[in-house]
Structure 1
Amino acid sequence: MGLPRSVVKQAGSASVVQLKLLVSDLDAEILAATVALCNQAAAYASTAAWRRGLVGQVQLHRSVYRELREQFPSLGAQAAVRAIARVVGAHANRSASRKRAHIFRSNGAVPFDARMLTSNRDAGTISIWTPHGRLQLGYLGRDIDLEAVEQLPPGECDLICRNGVWLLKVAVAVPVSVIAEPVAGFLGVDQGVASLAVTSDGAVLPGSVLPGTVKGNGHVRALRARRHRQRRRLQTKATSSARRVLRRLAGREARTIADVNHQISKHVVREAEHTGRGVALEDLQGIRGRARAHRSQRRTLHSWAFAQMIGFVRYKTQRAGVALVLVDPAYTSQTCPERDHISRQNRPARGGRFLCQRCGLAGHADHIAAINVSIRAVGGWGAVNRPHATDLPSARRDQESKPPVQPVVVGISSLSSSTARSGSAAASTAWTSFSDGTRPVSSTSRTPSPNLIPVTTNETSVRADPPSGAPATQGC
């Protein structure tokens, strides 16, 4: 499902709304036959494309279009075109399709474009193509979804049957707000498996600040483990009643995790918007291939929905006009944000404690990583928004008579005394607890932050004395 790029650029960002179709028993049978026919045509085109080694849409169209019309006489011309486009998209997005033909389920979702589905907004009905003629169907939805369908430019639609209910998911172009300059820095967010999200302000999410029944990361892990044991027990039993229970429980865990990710992303974007900051996340693309996990931890790693939360944060920041930066996640939990010292010994292999081997900075490892993410976002945002900050020759700069600007080097020490250094007041004072109460961290005095994540028995983050042989006052 998607909108043309031209529509998205003119109107805003693509979003999806869900409508419930009002169908009779006869209409449901016709829609089921339509979905099955379109999926059969897509499966036929997928097999032909894989055997003939065709990957381009034009080549595949010239090769299999007439075959589709002959093999499936009731298939319309535009339906055949959309089936070919589905095959091209599936082979482009899935690496497994290169080894075998992509499989289209008989009851899978079927896309409809403007030639196959039209809407009458005044009457509140849609006209949808079927092999037996067009159907005029009514629809229901939330007020916000109905308003979006009536006012925003529509795009491609997906027809889905879920538990006997026919749904129509419509892609619309939502207007985006003007991105505000993050004058107060960035709110860094560290994503993880044990803790889904930890902000540079010290908030552990999900937690008590979020509504709903999930009150912590331990609750999320217990929920996933319970669902896994339940599915394994029912699949081992393999009776008709067990299969009925599996169908009833299908998707429940995914819906719960999606709700938690929605709450986390909403809290992060709202906090950044209220404080005049941007949002900084780690670019975790390909993390499953790079991370080495024990056999007992593979299920946990591959059920980690980090990409979903990044997607939720991305579209929420676009609508709210908040800046979003994805930074390199390398060594964020092993880097001392005070002295920029990177060492594996700073963060042990197990446990959530961080202890700098040079300056003795101590704290929660995820909190330290979130602070490093917010610091890196400052440089990332500046690189994107300083087109003239370069010494390289530029014909456009010469034409505009703009002299080259020297690149601004943002250091850790300079950031420590500015609002851009921490992204928040809480982040800038997150490492100021003292072990002896007298030794200062730097020339600038700070006070302990109440938002600092406790990692010791007395629930305070302390600046431990540096290890023996390490300088106590010198920089890294």
Structure 2
Amino acid sequence: MKVVVQVKLLPEAEEAAALRSTLRTVNDLACWVSRVAFARGVPREYELRKHTYAHLKAEGLGAQAAQHVIKKVRDAYTTLHANLRAGHLGKPRSRRRVKAESKPIAFRPEAAQPYDDRCLSWQYDQQTVSIWTTVGRIKNVRFACSGDALKTLRDYRKGEADLIERDGVFYLIATCDVPEAEAYEPDGFIGVDLGIVNIATTSTGYQAAGRGLGRYRKRQLALRAKLQKKRTKSAKRRLKVRSRRETRHVKNTNHIIAKTILTEAQRTSAGISLEELKGIRQRVRLRKPQRVTFHSWAFAQLGDFIVYKAKRAGVPLVSVDPAYTSQTCAECGHVDKRNRVDQGLFICRRCGVVAHADRNASRNIAARGAAVWNAGRESRVPATP
């Protein structure tokens, strides 16, 4: 299982200047390589190297850094073509697609630059790194991270790490290959119903209300609009300081919810049944006032957090189809659109049971999870006559 660990670099003033100059140089050269690739019809990496490697070396890049710049450009075009084939940039001849196809890919001055073990070495005991720059190799650059992150780096770091600059601060983002824990045999399943009013509702009674997060989003939206109207230097400075604050808050909230659900599953030796909501943004049609709330719903992030935490802890997890879970009675199984009276109330038209709508849906998801698990466990080999 791939886990990404981010550490914060703490360079001195001269070291920070060298790192910043390195990122600016490699990304400027990446833009040049991108223009060459675009002019030559985006050749394969080996052919692109023949047209650009000598120039990159002449500009002062080391052999490994030059190779990484070329590979970064080729990977960017591979991603672009994959998005075009998948239709993520619109239909053929649409304005967005034509714009993406008609010019070379550009790289921001602070964009990530990959480093391998020849360009970057880690000293875990001292919490320092030795890193290549355009002015020479810099040794003993301090970094900071949590104890768990340091242990993960020491035990499982594998492959490249990316150097990025964000708001004047440098980070190293390393990939770790963490082994998955062996899953135990679950004693039942905990169903998790995801939503906007209630971020997550489980069949065991846990409910993460979304009212506080919704108020926080509205307050941040109003504050951004107020600052953007001023158009002063101080307002722009405040907007820059506050950038990504909402993203970090939502991410932290989702981490807390995922950890709570996982802890409950471990305590009761149960598995987790999660609804598969992929493609819901394309399926659902909403009125204009509801679109901002819906499209800022971070259900995919919460689902990813639950999945990777379950894999690391060895908790069984299954994904189920959420169709009609909010219209099906968890007691008698009766399906009727009228069963869902409103957002929070469920009343079965057959047996008359009254329940919270999200709690009822989570029970249906739990039952489907158990059925999926048992179906996968049963043998499909014909019996011997």
TM range (shorter): 0.7 to 0.9
Match of 2:240 in 1: 247
Match of 1:265 in 2: 258
- 1:155 is aligned to 2:147: no
Match of 2:202 in 1: 199
Name the larger-Rg structure.
1
CA–CA distance in structure 2, aligned partners of residues 133 and 377 of structure 1: 56
Match of 2:51 in 1: 67
Deviation string, structure 1 residues 136-160 (Cα, Å, up to 9, x no partner): 1232322222222223333321212
CA–CA distance in structure 1, aligned partners of residues 185 and 97 of structure 2: 44
- Does the C-alpha gap of structure 1 residues 104 and 343 become closer, same or farther in structure 2, counting only changes over 3 Å? farther
CA–CA distance in structure 2, aligned partners of residues 375 and 218 of structure 1: 28
Does the residue aligned with 1:134 lie in a helix, a strand or coil? strand
Compute the TM-score of the two structures, normalised by the length of structure 2.
0.86
Deviates more, 1:295-304 or 1:338-347: 338-347
Question: Structure 2: where are the runs of 5+ without partners?
Answer: 90-95
CA–CA distance in structure 2, aligned partners of residues 106 and 22 of structure 1: 20
- 1:357 is aligned to 2:361: no
- Does the C-alpha gap of structure 1 residues 88 and 227 become closer, same or farther in structure 2, counting only changes over 3 Å? same
Higher strand share: 2
CA–CA distance in structure 2, aligned partners of residues 185 and 330 of structure 1: 21
Question: Structure 1: where are the runs of 5+ without partners?
Answer: 1-12, 206-215, 392-402, 406-476
CA–CA distance in structure 1, aligned partners of residues 154 and 295 of structure 2: 39
- Does the C-alpha gap of structure 1 residues 170 and 370 become closer, same or farther in structure 2, counting only changes over 3 Å? same
Identity of paired residues, percent?
38
- Does the C-alpha gap of structure 1 residues 188 and 50 become closer, same or farther in structure 2, counting only changes over 3 Å? farther
- 1:128 is aligned to 2:165: no
Does the residue aligned with 1:318 lie in a helix, a strand or coil? helix
Deviation string, structure 1 residues 429-462 (Cα, Å, up to 9, x no partner): xxxxxxxxxxxxxxxxxxxxxxxxxxxxxxxxxx
Tell me, yes or no, if the aligned pair for 1:283 and 1:326 is still in contact at 8 Å: yes
Q: How far does residue 128 in structure 1 lie from its aligned partner after superposition?
A: 1.7
Amino acid paired to 1:384: G
Deviation string, structure 1 residues 290-331 (Cα, Å, up to 9, x no partner): 111111111111111111111111121112110111111111
- 1:91 is aligned to 2:77: no
- Does the C-alpha gap of structure 1 residues 378 and 164 become closer, same or farther in structure 2, counting only changes over 3 Å? same
CA–CA distance in structure 1, aligned partners of residues 384 and 202 of structure 2: 37
Compute the TM-score of the two structures, normalised by the length of structure 1.
0.71
Match of 1:33 in 2: 21
Deviation string, structure 1 residues 338-390 (Cα, Å, up to 9, x no partner): 23222222224x4321122222232111111111111111122233333x325
Deviation string, structure 1 residues 46-83 (Cα, Å, up to 9, x no partner): 555566664xxxx5313422333355433334334333
Deviates more, 1:188-197 or 1:233-242: 233-242
Does the residue aligned with 1:336 lie in a helix, a strand or coil? coil
Match of 1:334 in 2: 327
Q: Which residue of 177, 195, 203 corresponds with 1:173? A: 177
Amino acid paired to 2:270: R
CA–CA distance in structure 2, aligned partners of residues 305 and 51 of structure 1: 39
CA–CA distance in structure 2, aligned partners of residues 306 and 15 of structure 1: 20
Amino acid paired to 1:148: T
CA–CA distance in structure 2, aligned partners of residues 163 and 362 of structure 1: 52
Deviation string, structure 1 residues 395-427 (Cα, Å, up to 9, x no partner): xxxxxxxx379xxxxxxxxxxxxxxxxxxxxxx
- Does the C-alpha gap of structure 1 residues 33 and 389 become closer, same or farther in structure 2, counting only changes over 3 Å? same
Match of 2:380 in 1: 389
User: Paired residues, what number?
Assistant: 365
Q: How far does residue 289 in structure 1 lie from its aligned partner after superposition?
A: 1.1
Does the residue aligned with 1:308 lie in a helix, a strand or coil? helix
Tell me, yes or no, if the aligned pair for 2:23 and 2:110 is still in contact at 8 Å: yes
